[in-house]
Amino acid sequence: MPNNPCESQNEEGVTEMQIILHAGDARAKCLMSLQKINEGSFSEAQELLNEANTEINQAHKVQTEMIQEEAKGNKKEVSLLMVHAQDHLMTAIAIRDMVITFIAYATMMDKRIKDLEERK
């Protein structure tokens, strides 16, 4: 094992970075989606949410492959980088779940407001 773990680019590190990359992109798209909700652009918010879902699915696919390898007996040592990757993925999923609720709520409230305005 090298003295500096950052010097080696092992397969586990690449895999973990893939999870971090996809989860980070998903989180960013979710936060952009929230901004679009705030602006009243619900279709753009939904589009960004769909893109976030694609990124989460990619990260989850990588994670599932790692789990399947472990189930086959190919256990890997849990590294700080893996913990970090899992943290990113869990955070992205939690934010995505909240954004789904926010879009539904904001869309419903927008419709109710428009209905009330039409009654005037």
Q: Domains of the chain (ranges plus CATH)?
A: 10-119 (1.20.58.80)
Q: Rounded mean pLDDT of 28-45?
A: 96
| Residue 88 annotated among the catalytic residues of the structure | no
Report whether pLDDT(78) > 50: yes
Q: Rounded mean pLDDT of 63-87?
A: 93
Provide, rounded to the nearest whole percent, the portion of the chain with pLDDT above 70: 90
Query: How many Å from the N-terminal Cα to the C-terminal Cα in the chain?
Result: 74
101 vs 75: which has the higher pLDDT: 101
Count of beta carbons in the 10 Å neighbourhood of residue 97: 11
Catalytic residue among 22, 60, 84, 88: 84
Report whether pLDDT(80) > 50: yes
